[in-house]
């Protein structure tokens, strides 16, 4: 477990080595001063200015490379009202499409990663422009079932395969299995497959909305809000109205009909009335067959595990806390294992004090982004005095379910806990409080170092299992 102090000291040492002329100027100036040279003050002044300037870039780089969340990051501007179940996603814009292209739904039947191999290692790479560069955009091969007309009409469906660049912020739409695509009859499709009526192009920001990754609400003309998240039929109708109107601005995750042109608002109202007359059931969080489009194992990101524990951090009272992403916004900076995003988190301190929102620029691993439709929770480890928090991606990925979590009993029996986030959370806290590191996703109670915590671990697993059984009963 890295500490902020060690990172500062390491960066300071590198800065001193890179800025070797600074101590050299001080040494030369001191020697000249001892010798009585008149120009000694010039060398001393240059060295002094350089010595004062070294800590500034050091601290700035440390803040970027080691993103602690401190009091300075607390959100003061609440222009967007974030509810506990709100998630706003500002993804890169898709390329413009032709007017004759039809906006329809497509189901992802299969998906596999073709290529993602950016150059530049773990350093930060910044680009100009608003679109994601191909270097940092995974190329994915997908088999799609496209609903070209009304989804109730089986005759209007067709299937197609192809390779598409998927912005990392929208990978969860592939895992969820629901995309918004444009079918352009004016552009040639696959000549070998005449059943495809035109070129199929996924619209990624709308796909994230259709998949349920981004929450979606509508405020009607009477001021009543309606949650339409994971209601793809109604959402597609609204998207088509928005597209024909030239785009409709969403405030956070909400479209307010009172702010729209009356004719457009009337069309939205008609869609709402149609939905009330024949209510649409919420679509599942992920469509059936998720295992055939599970890209998580092929994407970069920190390996999931119960996490390391710093003994000094544990002895001084350091704790794990849970937070939740409320907003993610794309930037033009990338790392090899994930994009650098402007995020807003809601942090729940362990001492029971009220939750607070914090805005922080973070590198978010791509394997976590691929399951963003299922969870937005994140695990932080807090400083012993509660003054700062750091995202623990290993524990976050395990809690998110990117890797199977298993407990092996002292008798050798394997107990899967992947689908039980509350159990995983309890086990993480138990290990952290006892200063026991377990970087792997498998917690083996047969190991000697686990003997002291074995009973408590089994109580946590069995206690949660009995609660689940009682709830089902």
Which burial class, exposed, middle or buried, applies to 69 when counting CB atoms under 10 A from its CB (0-12, 13-18, 19+)? buried
First-to-final CA distance of the chain: 42
Count the domains in the chain.
3
The Cα–Cα gap between 90 and 421 comes to 27
Closest CA to 107 of 283, 370, 366: 283
One-character DSSP codes across 125-182: EE--SSSPPGGGS-EEEEEEEEE-S-TT-GGGEEEEEEEEE--GGGHHHHHHTEEEEE
Please answer whether residues 245 and 289 qualify as being in contact, where contact means their C-beta atoms are separated by less than 8 angstroms: no
Asked whether residue 328 is domain-assigned, the answer is no
DSSP sequence for 297-363: GGS-SPPP-SB---HHHHHTT-EEEEEEEEEEEEEEEEETTEEEEEEEEEEE-TTSPPPEEEEEEEE
336 part of a folded domain: no
Which single residue is written with the structure tokens 């191999």?
117
Interatomic CA distance for residues 247 and 92, integer angstroms: 15
Q: Over its length of 473 residues, how does the chain's per-residue pLDDT go in tens digits?
A: 565 555 545 555 565 555 556 666 667 777 877 777 777 777 667 666 666 656 666 556 656 666 889 888 998 776 667 888 899 998 887 777 788 889 999 999 999 999 998 876 667 888 876 667 888 999 999 999 999 766 555 557 899 999 999 999 999 999 999 999 999 887 776 666 677 888 899 999 999 999 999 999 999 999 999 999 999 999 999 999 999 988 888 888 999 999 999 999 999 999 999 999 999 999 999 999 999 999 999 999 999 999 999 888 888 888 999 999 999 999 998 988 999 999 999 999 988 888 999 999 999 999 999 999 999 999 999 988 888 899 999 999 999 999 999 999 999 999 999 889 999 999 999 999 999 999 999 999 999 989 889 999 999 998 754 443 434 33
**Domain's final residue, options 258, 275, 293:** 293
Residue 7 CA to residue 163 CA, distance in Å, equals 41
**Contact status, residue 347 vs residue 358, Cβ threshold 8 Å:** yes
Domain assignment present for residue 187? The answer is yes
Q: Looking at the structure, do residues 256 and 110 belong to the same domain, yes or no?
A: yes
**pTM, 2 dp:** 0.85
Q: Based on the domain organization, do 135 and 243 belong to the same domain?
A: yes
Of 146, 272, 281, nearest in space to 203 by CA = 146
Domain region containing 206: 93-293
pLDDT of residue 247: 85
Structure tokens at 472: 């089902």
205 within some domain: yes
164 and 227 inside one domain: yes
Write down the pLDDT at residue 168: 94
Closest CA to 337 of 121, 158, 180: 121
Phi and psi based region of residue 157 (left: phi greater than 0; alpha: psi -120 to 50; beta: remaining): beta
Angle between helical axes of 21-34 and 40-53 (0-180°, round to 10)? 150
Cβ neighbours of residue 259 under 8 Å, at least 6 residues apart?
none
Q: Does residue 119 lie within any of the structural domains?
A: yes
* Shared-domain flag, residues 138 and 34: no
């Amino acid at each position: 477990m890295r500490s902020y102090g060690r990172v500062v000291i390491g960066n300071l040492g590198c800065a001193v080595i890179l800025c070797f002329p600074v101590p050299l100027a001080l040494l030369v100036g001191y020697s000249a001063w001892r010798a009585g040279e008149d120009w000694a003050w010039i060398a001393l002044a240059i060295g002094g200015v350089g010595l004062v300037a070294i800590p500034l870039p050091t601290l700035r780089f440390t803040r970027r490379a080691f993103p602690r969340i401190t009091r300075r990051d607390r959100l003061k501007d609440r222009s967007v009202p974030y509810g506990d179940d709100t998630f706003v996603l500002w993804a890169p814009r898709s390329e413009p499409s032709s007017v004759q292209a039809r906006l329809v739904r497509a189901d992802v039947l299969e998906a596999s990663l073709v290529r993602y191999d950016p150059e530049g290692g773990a350093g930060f790479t910044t680009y100009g422009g608003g679109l994601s560069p191909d270097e940092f955009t995974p190329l994915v091969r997908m088999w799609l079932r496209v609903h070209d007309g009304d989804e109730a009409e089986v005759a209007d469906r067709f299937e197609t395969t192809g390779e598409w660049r998927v912005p990392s912020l929208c990978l969860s739409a592939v895992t969820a299995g629901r995309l918004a695509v444009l079918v352009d009859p004016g552009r040639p499709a696959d000549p070998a497959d005449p059943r495809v009526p035109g070129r199929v192009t996924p619209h990624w920001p709308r796909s994230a909305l259709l998949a349920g990754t981004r929450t979606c609400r509508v405020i009607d003309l009477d001021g009543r809000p309606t949650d339409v998240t994971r209601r793809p039929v109604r959402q597609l109708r609204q998207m088509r109205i928005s597209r024909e109107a030239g785009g409709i601005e969403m405030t956070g995750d909400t479209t307010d009909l009172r702010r729209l042109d009356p004719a457009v608002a009337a069309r939205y109202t008609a869609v709402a009335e149609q939905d009330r007359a024949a209510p649409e059931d919420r679509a599942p969080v992920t469509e059936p067959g998720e295992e055939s489009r599970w890209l998580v194992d092929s994407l970069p990101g920190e390996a999931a595990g119960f996490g390391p524990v710093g003994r000094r951090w544990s002895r001084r009272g350091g704790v794990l806390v849970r937070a939740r992403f409320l907003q993610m916004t794309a930037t033009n900076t990338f790392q090899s294992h994930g994009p650098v995003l402007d995020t807003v988190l809601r942090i729940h301190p362990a001492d029971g004090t009220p939750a607070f929102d914090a805005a922080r620029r973070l590198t978010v691993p791509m394997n976590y982004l691929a399951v963003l439709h299922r969870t937005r929770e994140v695990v932080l480890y807090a400083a012993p005095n509660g003054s700062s928090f750091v995202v623990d991606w290993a524990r976050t990925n395990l809690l998110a379910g990117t890797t199977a979590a298993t407990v092996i009993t002292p008798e050798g029996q394997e107990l899967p806990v992947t689908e039980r986030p509350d159990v995983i959370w309890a086990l993480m806290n138990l290990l952290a409080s006892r200063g026991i590191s377990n970087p792997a996703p498998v917690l083996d109670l047969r190991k000697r170092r686990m003997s002291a915590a074995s009973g408590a671990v089994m109580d946590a697993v069995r206690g949660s299992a009995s609660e689940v059984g009682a709830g089902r009963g």
